Amino acid sequence: MAKINILSEDVRNKIAAGEVIERPVSVVKELVENSIDAGADAITVIVENGGKDLIQVIDNGSGMDPDDAMLALESHATSKIRNLDDIVHISSLGFRGEALPSIASVSNFTLLTRSNNMDTAVRIDINSGKLKDVQKTSSNCGTTIWVRGLFKSLPARRKFLRSDHVELRHILKYFHYQALIYPSITFKLIADGKEKLNYIASDNRNQRMSDIFGSSFFSDDIIEVSGSSGEYSVTGYIFGLEERRDKLIDAQYAFINGRFINDKTVKHSIKSAYEPFILKTRIWMKGTTPPYILFIKVPPTQIDVNVSPTKSEVRFRENQKVHALIFETLSRALKRYEEEKFASARAKFLNPPSSSRPSSLERDIFVQNVEVPRYGEYKKEHANLFQDDLFRANETETPKAIPIVNQELSDNDDQQEIFDDMPNDAVSYKLLLQNEEEYINPWQLHNTYIFVQVEDGLVIIDQHAAHERILYEKLIHRSSGAPATRQKLLLPLVIDIPPYIASEIRELVDENWEIFEKIGFVLKKFSGDSIVIEEIPAELGDFQGGKVFIDILKQLETEMEASTDFRDSLAKSISCKAAIKANTKLSRKEMLTLINNLFACRVPYFCPHGRPLIVKMTLSDFEKKFKRLV
């Protein structure tokens, strides 16, 4: 019997679908980009259950006549290229012929279209790749496509889709960046019968950016950038170095020739431009790059947009030229920004009575206006003193248990579970030492890490991660019924949720109002996307005029990507924003309280996201480093 088989057309189509269609947003992307290429200036998308049950795309583009409509559903059919030369001169958003037949092979697919030169429209119905019906009908000019029951014929694929909320969130994010790059098109999104987004067409991209990110976007700490080199150019906005609570942390968009691209070269050039400025002021401590929105133009002959079937990646023929242009453009802009901050700080320091106080960033730039050597240069210069493996465990040794342990709880198998029995205030635990006077004074390194001597060595604690763990466990217990500790605001705050997260998070808050109250918030609905806050959890000491609440909502949006348990996501979000930050000086009493509370936790060795928060070095580790032991 032959071992090599020719796959059937049905199987080939489903394999092709797997390359292009990963989830509902992939369908939305393919169909919306076809609408843009068809010249539409108004596009409406309707989805149900995160796009799993229905995706409908309506446009007023050029439409197709009956013959073209039938051909469009054949594999490798396209109107966007004619010959090999066209492949390296692509000016449209795509040409892959597999998109429509691939979508039709994994759904119940209906195409309704009418071209400008036709009096009647054509409707084509396809079920799981098989043609069911073709008929003439009436319709407006343009194209409407229905995609129902995505992957229902492939239950193994459908089970890998995430929750409706997560799938809808991907669609919303796609809408945001597509609306940014095409401000002249009206984009409307309706989900489960409710209008989520409605961006009205505008000739002004700045107006579209305000519609998405809020009217205060251009009054924020942003820097306009512009640079060119021959036919290459980069324009847009990057954020400055002021680390404020209401920043659009996830607004990192790079567009190349009208496409949203997730490209390593572009990301590396942006990060490299920021790096020396971040090192100088020790900000953005989590290692993330500040927000940016960049529009990059590259000659079509110098870019390959078909590296991946989904066109999410590109390949540059002059990779170094693109990297250098972005790096130099951003570096010049950040240098000007730094000089302006230095001048502002100088004026404020020289005229304190008549001017506002300098910000922490201005103070840092003014005081530390010196060049900081790169890490690589520092290591090379001090090679004889530098020990790269100082805190690296010996590979031949097995890690030893940290002696500071909550012994009553350490033997439990359910430490990693979300506990729902009793508040951790009531859990019995052992102190670090029996008598507080026996402590060797704890001390801080860079106001970030706490060093504590223990019986057989040294323990180092990340103060932010430790406090995050303490708060997380308290909040989990509250969501399970433990009484909340609240602080009442002197005046209720009205919080306007930024437009770009309001559409994604409004229903999530409405559905989980009770959990917010259990954890410690007293909220009331206002109008539109506004919420009134009357009381907040006691742990949120510095509420910053409500900006922390917006930051919690942003963090919550990220947490819900990985977990469907709302109380777990909310507890992680609040604890992350309420915990003691790096670069915060603590008194001896505060450090001791933090340590004792940490070891009252059920899981004292990891932050809520699983990152270790304690490092231990034994005396033998030190003796080996200093060659006392061989």
Identify the H or E element spanning 460.
strand 457-462
Instruction: Using pLDDT thresholds of 50, 70 and 90, give the confidence band for residue 401.
Output: very low
Tokens representing 282 are 């020790």
Q: What confidence score (pLDDT) does residue 48 get? A: 96
Asked if residue 368 has pLDDT above 70, the reply is no
Instruction: Using pLDDT thresholds of 50, 70 and 90, give the confidence band for residue 101.
Output: confident
Amino acid at position 122, single letter? V
Average pLDDT over residues 526-537: 78
- Residue of 209 and 502 predicted with greater confidence: 209
Q: What does DSSP assign to residue 152?
A: T
For the chain, what percent of residues have pLDDT higher than 90? 26
Average pLDDT over residues 604-626: 89
Orientation of helix 164-181 relative to helix 24-37, angle to 10°: 20
Instruction: Using pLDDT thresholds of 50, 70 and 90, give the confidence band for residue 468.
Output: very high
Q: What confidence score (pLDDT) does residue 19 get? A: 57
Q: What confidence score (pLDDT) does residue 153 get? A: 84
Average pLDDT over residues 362-376: 53
**488-529: per-residue pLDDT in tens?**
888 888 877 767 777 666 777 777 888 888 888 888 876 667
For the chain, what percent of residues have pLDDT higher than 70? 70
- Residue of 411 and 117 predicted with greater confidence: 117
* Lowest mean per-residue pLDDT among 50-64, 269-283, 392-406, 447-461: 392-406
User: Going by DSSP bridges, is the β-strand pair 449-454/443-445 parallel, antiparallel, or unpaired?
Assistant: antiparallel
**424-436: per-residue pLDDT in tens?**
444 333 444 445 5
Q: What confidence score (pLDDT) does residue 52 get? A: 95
Q: Write down the pTM of the prediction.
A: 0.67
CA distances 157 to 56, 148, 151, 481, 620, Å, are: 21, 15, 6, 39, 53
Asked if residue 17 has pLDDT above 80, the reply is no
525 and 531 in contact (C-beta within 8 Å)? yes
95 and 175 in contact (C-beta within 8 Å)? no
User: Residue by residue, what is the 3-state secondary structure of 388-453?
Assistant: CCCCCCCCCCCCCCCCCCCHHHHCCCCCCCCCCCCCHHHCCCCCCCCCHHHCCCCEEECCCEEEEE
Q: Is the dihedral of CA 78, 84, 87, 92 positive or negative?
A: negative
Q: What confidence score (pLDDT) does residue 390 get? A: 47
Amino acid at position 439, single letter? Y
Q: In the sheet where 614-618 sits, what is the strand order?
A: 443-445, 449-454, 457-462, 614-618
Q: What confidence score (pLDDT) does residue 13 get? A: 61
Contacts of 215 (CB under 8 A, 6+ apart): none
Cα(543)–Cα(148) distance, integer angstroms:
45
